Structure 1
């Protein structure tokens, strides 16, 4: 039996070192050399301060900024550790809501969101990504239509011409990857930072 345990233990140790330590460290180091910004989390800085990541959405609620998709992520309730409370864009608890199409809670939330959005802009149809959560709850992007829908509200709040804001959205719209993968999208954090820059000019 010891004759069988020894080679098995050696093999287990060797594979643990190779696949559990050497390979991850090598890939992390290589990624840091080839793609330093992405390996560091695609962080965005302003004036030497990190303001967020282009990979994780932020909970923006002000009328003078573009808003992202709703987020269903939660966090532990500080008052009762056995319960959770809503915590939009909580990267430590990435998840969707798991509510199905027959869920009364989902229907109520979507109906409320639709009413709020229609109050902001009654002239255009509400884009679906402004009332639905993503599977991760951390989606940093919205569709160009979702950004355009918010232009009248932001133009009013910031006293900027709508055409200027539409041009800003267009200039920050990313196309499909390789021309065929995914959908056109706008990164909300990048767009909001560009909006602040536009106002300072």
Structure 2
């Protein structure tokens, strides 16, 4: 009988007191993150989360970091390959070659290496700038327009004060679509 009372107490306190208290606290402290940081398209429909990378492969979009889990949130994982593993080096070399990287025009490391989760939504400022020429050519835009767009979207690490160094790829591509539609 004591175990049954304990079970009822735990279910009630955790399910009906603790959980709503934590969700309420999150809604007050971080309202956007507590609802998944969903981004909406012009039609008002959700198109993705600011917190999770999405796969962009077309030349007219900025590309995110590579993903060891093919951008599948249910299988989030790093590659588990050590930095000395030849498979990791071969994959990085193939990605660098697909971007047209050369010794005179080296590719930023974040564009050839997956994050620990495989779902990092941000690239470095250098990674975004590295892709400007390709995207400008594919969209028929001026590179200066894209550099301005990147500057507007970039932010410091964790949103703290400092120089902007991160760019959210989904936000950048949405702004890119708006810029192209306005032309």
Q: How would you bin the TM-score normalised by the shorter chain?
A: 0.7 to 0.9
Residue number in structure 1 paired with 2:71: 89
Where does residue 102 of structure 1 map in the other structure?
84
Runs of 4+ in structure 1 displaced over 6 angstroms?
Answer: none
Among 4, 7, 14, the residue aligned to 2:9: 14
What is the CA–CA distance in structure 2 between the aligned matches of 1:173 and 1:32, rounded to whole Å? 25
> Unaligned stretches of 5+ in structure 2?
none
| CA distance in 1: counterparts of 2:25 and 2:170, whole angstroms | 28
**Does structure 2 retain, via aligned residues, the 8 Å contact 1:124–1:149?**
no
Structure 1 unaligned residues grouped into runs of 5+:
74-87
Are 1:138 and 2:119 matched, yes or no? yes
**Partner residue in 1 for 2:166:** 185
What RMSD in Å do the two structures reach over aligned CA positions? 2.3
CA distance in 1, matches of 2:156, 2:32: 21
TM-score by length of 1: 0.80
- The answer on 1:69 being equivalent to 2:65 is yes
Shift of the alpha carbon at 1:153?
Answer: 0.3
Greater Rg by CA: 1
CA–CA distance in structure 2, aligned partners of residues 20 and 98 of structure 1 = 36
**How many Å apart are 1:174 and its aligned residue?**
0.6
Structure 1 segment 105-124 matched on structure 2, within 5 A: 105-118=87-100, 124=105
Q: For residues 35 and 131 of structure 1, what CA distance do their matches in structure 2 show?
A: 32
> Once structures 1 and 2 are overlaid, which stretch shifts more, 107-116 or 10-19?
10-19
| Structure 1 position 184, deviation (Å) | 2.1
Question: How many matched pairs?
Answer: 180
> Following superposition of structure 1 onto structure 2, how do residues 146-185 of structure 1 map, counting pairs within 5 Å?
146-176=127-157, 177-179=159-161, 184-185=165-166
Instruction: Report the more deviating stretch, 62-71 or 30-39.
Output: 30-39
2: CA distance between counterparts of 1:131 and 1:60?
14
Q: Write the distance in 1 (CA, Å) between the matches of 2:153 and 2:104.
A: 24
